[in-house]
Amino acid sequence: MERKRMAQVATYFAVAFAAFLFWQSRHNTTPPPQPDMPPPPSSLPAFPHAASTVLPDPARFFSRELLSAPLPTNSFFQNFALNNGDQPEYIHPYSVKSAAAALTVCYPKSVHSPSFHAQTFVADLTISSPSDAAAPHRIYAFDDLSVTLDFSPSLRAFLVRGSPFVTVATAGVPVDISLVSVHAFLEAAPRDGALTRWRLRMNSGQTFLLYASAPIRLSMTSVTQLAAPGFGGVIRVAFLPDAAMEAVLDQHSGCFPTGGEAALNRPFSVDYTWRTDGSGDLLMLAHPLHLRLLSKDRGVRVLEDFRYRSIDGDLVGVVGDAWALRTDPVFPTWHSTRGVSEDGVPEIVAALRKDVDDLASSPITTASSYFYGKAIARAARLALIAEEVGCPDVIPAVHRFLTAAVTPWLNGSFEGNGFLYDPIWGGLVTRQGMTDTGADFGFGIYNDHHYHLGYFVYAIAVLAKIDPAWGREYMPQAYSMVADFMTTSRQAGASDYYPRMRTFDLWKLHSWAGGLTEFGEGRNQESTSEAVNAYYSAALLGLSYGDAPLVSAAATLTALEMLAAQTWWHVREGDAIYEGDFTGRNRVVGVVWANKRDSGLWFAPPEWKECRLGIQLLPIVPISEALFPDAGFARDLVRWTAPALARDGVGDGWKGFVYALEGTYDKESALAKTRELASHDDGNTLTNLLWWLHSRGSPGAAAAAAGGGTTAHGMLLDMLAAEPALVSS
């Protein structure tokens, strides 16, 4: 019992320290520096410059004024900056395409089956000026919530995410306007005497409303084309899902957003503010996670009956030009939040000693930044587990292994690969990726940066924890890695070398992968758990360096990424977000795209369910229990997966993740199966699985299995409430 109490006390102190950092961040105070610890370095890249031969030239599509700063590589409008720039992007609630000096707006329809759920693109309404010659569009401006596109010399589009209107402005002088559809127009009629409101009814059954800042005279030149001569001003078009919504669109048509920002100034908060023009109150649309987190303290008004259909769930009207989103806190900890059961310690220690001994006889042989990162993070887990189970004598061996394995990647001496800085787009690439787009899973073209770097940051955080002198020496490289995928500041200096929030989407509230590759379905993300691991690891790095703002920002992104995973990747029976045939056959999505949901994976077909489960759980770390807090859902997911384990060729590594999740509701069964495994995933060990399983089975887990559910951060808050002296001290 004494060992268990010591583990609990260690957890209390870890949580108290994290809570103290959050309190300081919330109150804008500066944490006391650690002894001899320098302040966080500037965002200098800390790696040699690269001369990539495979990256596209951003000058083709970005305006000259934007080229002097780092550029986005995983954004919601990335297709607009790649190849011909003519692939559509989903800018809720519309899919938008820019090509041949025209802007095409589509209110997408849903197609679905048991294996996928997608939105189709149809050229519902195309806006152009006939006198403009075809030329590549220009990205004039962008921010967290919008992109401004000069899609022709005469016309500029303000594409703001969540706006029920698409807004187009002329470039000062009156121009001729053309509206074309693949559908036949049945009606193009003014709705007011001033000729500023029009109804466009099509033979597809669709109705669009058009609003103009000045009189516009539309005439039908063919059944599929409307023309308006000499118009100057602003045009707004909106799809009308239901006739009852017309009055709301009329009421809010005068105020249009031109851009928007998402602030991360407070822990576990995202604050939206939109820049607007025109008159009246701003009407926007919120997706399901927005609605879950939306605070009413900004005076916003939710219009429950004003809804647009979306692959992400219904988008609901919200009136107000400033939103406050609040999530429950998550306190990142080094060790398990429940503590390891006393009777499990001997088994863990026996496996730990063997796994640590194997480090010396099993050097890392890969040069892949992804697999190498998994290997060093796997070793770092052994040091933390040794701390938790009271086995400090093995930590020096882990320390030696990590120092020898990690340092060459930071000082440039690693043979065969390494990190370099690309000054064109602004970010880290690998030496292999400079000449090969497929190397390191596309890291050199900005794919999966948070996955790869998250593993490196985890190992660096642990090494800096157990060896502060090493941590001080390689602090610039550590911060450069974090800055590459989660630069949060807009201030000069902090964002001179890396774009703001390379991978995290502040409107969808989760990360994207894909990088500088054109996809018809937009950006995508497969492994939510590796995304969670990236931000969790950044928080641990902040704990190592006593950096309260980093801990706060990273923990906030960790919390949001987990909520998004539970909203769009985890599929519960009876969920209303996806259609019934897809929901009925799936308990977890393989890949979430901007415009599609796939049951398959990049590396496995849909029937390999153990891979789908595993890729949404690995790596197993303390934050994993907050990602899967509901043991009832875990039971459903494991039962759904179990038949796939009988297939020939299923690897023990993937089975280990299934058993780990089974352990959240049936520890003994999971332990028995885990002990029979002959091998483990390359980022996992028997020690880590035993640590996980022997820290399950608390009363909270039993309650969750009964249907109540609990979360790691709720448990930590309970512990803080039970030990207030730890916080006050």
DSSP 8-state code for residue 134: P
User: Does the annotation count 526 as an active-site position?
Assistant: yes
Task: Please state, in angstroms and as integers, the Cα–Cα distance from residue 163 to each residue in 94, 252, 645, following that order.
Answer: 9, 11, 45
The whole-angstrom separation of Cα 582 and Cα 114 is 4
The whole-angstrom separation of Cα 728 and Cα 721 is 11
SS3 319: strand
The residues that bridge with 156 in the sheet, in sequence order, are 150, 169
The whole-angstrom separation of Cα 90 and Cα 110 is 13
Q: Are 77 and 151 in contact (CB under 8 A)?
A: no
The residue type at 259? G
> From its phi and psi, is residue 279 left (phi > 0), alpha (psi between -120 and 50) or beta?
beta
Full strand arrangement of the beta sheet holding 596-598: 109-112, 116-120, 596-598, 591-593, 524-525
- Taking alpha carbons only, the member of 422, 428, 381, 426 closest to residue 409 is 428
User: Hey, how many other C-beta atoms are within 10 angstroms of the C-beta on 643?
Assistant: 11
DSSP 8-state code for residue 415: T
Q: Are 711 and 629 in contact (CB under 8 A)?
A: yes
Locate tokens 């550590």: which residue? 478
Tokens of 17: 């320290």
Marked catalytic residue, from 132, 150, 312, 448: 448
DSSP string, 145-186: SEEEEE-SSSEEEEEETT-SSEEEEE-SS-EEEEEE-SSPEE
- Ramachandran angles phi, psi of 188, nearest 5°: -140, 90
- Taking alpha carbons only, the member of 312, 445, 457 closest to residue 377 is 457
How many Cα atoms occupy the beta-carbon half-sphere of 442 within 13 Å? 14
The residues that bridge with 261 in the sheet, in sequence order, are 273
Marked catalytic residue, from 89, 440, 530, 598: 530
The whole-angstrom separation of Cα 228 and Cα 177 is 5
Q: Is 361 exposed, middle or buried (0-12, 13-18, 19+ CB in 10 A)?
A: exposed
Q: Could you report how far apart the first and last alpha carbons of the chain are, in Å? A: 25
- Taking alpha carbons only, the member of 452, 89, 176, 119 closest to residue 309 is 119
Locate tokens 């090494």: which residue? 463
Q: Where are the strands (E) in 378-436, listed by range?
A: 419-422, 427-430
DSSP 8-state code for residue 569: I
Vertex 214: Cα angle to 213 and 220 (nearest 5): 105
Marked catalytic residue, from 132, 150, 521, 526: 526
SS3 440: helix
SS3 519: coil
Tokens of 408: 């060459």
Tokens of 664: 């959240």
User: Does the annotation count 662 as an active-site position?
Assistant: no
Vertex 136: Cα angle to 59 and 449 (nearest 5): 45
Q: What is the dihedral of CA 617, 622, 625, 628, to 10 degrees?
A: -30
Max CA separation in the chain (angstroms): 86
DSSP string, 258-315: EEEEEE--STTEEEEEEEEEESS--EEEE-HHHHHHEEGGG--EEEEEEEE--TTS-E
The whole-angstrom separation of Cα 448 and Cα 73 is 11
The residue type at 578? Y
User: Does the annotation count 57 as an active-site position?
Assistant: no
Tokens of 576: 């209303």
Which positions are catalytic?
Answer: 448, 526, 530
